[in-house]
Amino acid sequence: MMFKYGVDRLELDIVNGIADGSIKAELCQEALDQINKSRQNVEKMASSDKPVYGINTGFGPLCDTQISPEETHLLQKNLLITHAVGVGEPIAKAISKLMLITKVHALSRGFSGIRLEVVERMLTFIELDLIPVVPEQGSVGASGDLAPLSHLFLPLINEGEFWQSEEGQDDKIVPAPEILSKHGLAPLDLHAKEGLALINGTQFILSHAITALTKMRYLLDLADLTGAMSIEGMQGSESPFREELHQTRAFKGNLEVAARMRAFFKDSQNMADHEECDRVQDPYSLRCIPQVHGASRNAYYHLKELSEIEMNSVTDNPIVISSEEAISGGSFHGQPLAMVLDYASIAAAELGNISDRRCYLLLEGLHGLPRLLTKAGGLNSGMMIPQYATAALVTENKSLCFPPSADSVPTSMGQEDHVSMGSISGRKLNQILGNVDKIFAIELMYAAQAIEFRRPNKCSDLIEQNFALIRSKVDKLEEDRLLKPDIDALITLVKSQAFSVNLEH
- Tell me how far apart the alpha carbons of residues 76 and 199 are, in angstroms, rounded to a whole number: 10
Helix (H, G, I), strand (E, B) or coil at 191: coil
The answer to whether the beta carbons of residues 28 and 101 sit under 8 Å apart is: no
- Tell me how far apart the alpha carbons of residues 369 and 312 are, in angstroms, rounded to a whole number: 53
Helix (H, G, I), strand (E, B) or coil at 434: helix
The residues annotated with a catalytic role in the active site are: 53
Of 186, 193, 218, 204, the residue nearest 319 (C-alpha): 193
The answer to whether the beta carbons of residues 141 and 419 sit under 8 Å apart is: yes
- Tell me how far apart the alpha carbons of residues 466 and 75 are, in angstroms, rounded to a whole number: 59
* Beta-bridge partners for 411: 416
The answer to whether the beta carbons of residues 34 and 27 sit under 8 Å apart is: no
- Tell me how far apart the alpha carbons of residues 483 and 21 are, in angstroms, rounded to a whole number: 38
DSSP 447: H
* Sign of the CA dihedral with 401 first, then 410, 192, and 112 last: positive
